[in-house]
């Protein structure tokens, strides 16, 4: 499930300066087209080159993900108790973990695509949900929601929901259990340990040599924030 989340994010959030002038649904559609074109035009990347997948994730995905907001929601109540230094380390390690997951997802791309659906009703100028469908050959389309908000002059994603399953809520249940047992520093250490294989190969954000998570954290239905 974690890899599925990551592939959707990788497909939808790569871009350039032009993205600042686009509506969120237009941004998702245009970026999806460009990231798929990049994968299809690079034989090594299409064949699963991890180093190139990490580079693509760093250059194309990260600018359109609000890692601080995603981390805050995933950590939950413990975030309010964390010191500024602990928050900084939590964001860094959570970012490394997601980059590793994104790069693994990119390297296993097999022709899937993303269809952006029409928006419903009046859109909030500061926060919105972009509805899409994940289209696979021979399979039923999967509904995907990208929760986005305005930050630094552009739209950024901070949560992804697949068939009612929220990425940040999925991680929250895992993180809550760790914090209860080992505290905030224990969570930081757990994330850092998980990122060690990735950091050894993938540079500052980790990624290229990481072993993919065989089973992500147990998913749970998204609850009201």
User: Which tens digits make up the pLDDT trace of 61-105?
Assistant: 778 889 999 999 999 999 999 999 999 999 999 998 888 777 777
Q: What is the pLDDT of residue 19?
A: 52
Q: What is the mean pLDDT of residues 147-167?
A: 90
Task: Give the pair of three-digit tokens for residue 222.
Answer: 């998204």
Could you tell me which of 192, 161, 166 has the C-alpha nearest to residue 88?
Answer: 192
Longest dimension (CA), the chain: 49
The 10s digit of each residue's pLDDT in 102-155 is: 777 766 666 778 888 988 777 788 999 999 988 877 778 889 899 999 998 889
pLDDT band at 32 (very low <50, low <70, confident <90, very high): confident
Q: What is the pLDDT of residue 18?
A: 42
- The answer to whether 13 and 31 are in contact (CB under 8 A) is yes
Residues paired with 133 in a beta bridge? 115, 143
- CA 141 → CA 87, 128, 134, distances in Å? 37, 22, 5
Place of tokens 């108790």: 81
> Between residues 158 and 140, which one has the greater pLDDT?
158
* pTM confidence score: 0.74
Q: What is the sign of the dihedral through the CA atoms of 150, 26, 117 and 9?
A: negative
pLDDT band at 58 (very low <50, low <70, confident <90, very high): confident
Least confident of 3-17, 31-45, 100-114, 117-131: 3-17
């Amino acid at each position: 499930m974690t890899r599925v989340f990551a592939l959707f994010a990788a497909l939808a959030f790569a871009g350039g300066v032009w993205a600042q002038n686009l509506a969120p649904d237009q941004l998702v559609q245009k970026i999806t087209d460009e990231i798929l074109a990049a994968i299809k035009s690079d034989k090594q990347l299409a064949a699963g080159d991890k180093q190139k997948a990490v580079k693509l994730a760093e250059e194309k995905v990260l600018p359109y993900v609000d890692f601080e907001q995603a981390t805050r929601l995933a950590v939950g109540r413990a975030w309010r108790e964390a010191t500024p230094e602990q928050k900084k380390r939590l964001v860094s390690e959570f970012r490394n973990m997601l980059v590793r997951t994104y790069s693994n997802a990119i390297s296993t791309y097999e022709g899937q695509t993303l269809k952006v659906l029409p928006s419903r009703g009046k859109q909030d100028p500061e926060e919105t949900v972009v509805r899409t469908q994940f289209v696979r050959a021979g399979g039923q389309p999967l509904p995907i929601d990208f929760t986005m908000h305005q930050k630094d002059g552009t739209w950024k994603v901070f949560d992804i929901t697949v068939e009612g399953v929220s990425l940040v809520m999925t991680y929250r249940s895992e993180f809550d259990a760790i914090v209860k047992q080992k505290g905030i520093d224990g969570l930081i250490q757990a994330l850092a340990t998980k990122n060690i294989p990735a950091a050894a190969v993938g540079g500052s954000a980790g990624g290229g040599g990481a072993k993919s998570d065989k089973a992500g954290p147990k998913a749970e239905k998204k609850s009201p924030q």
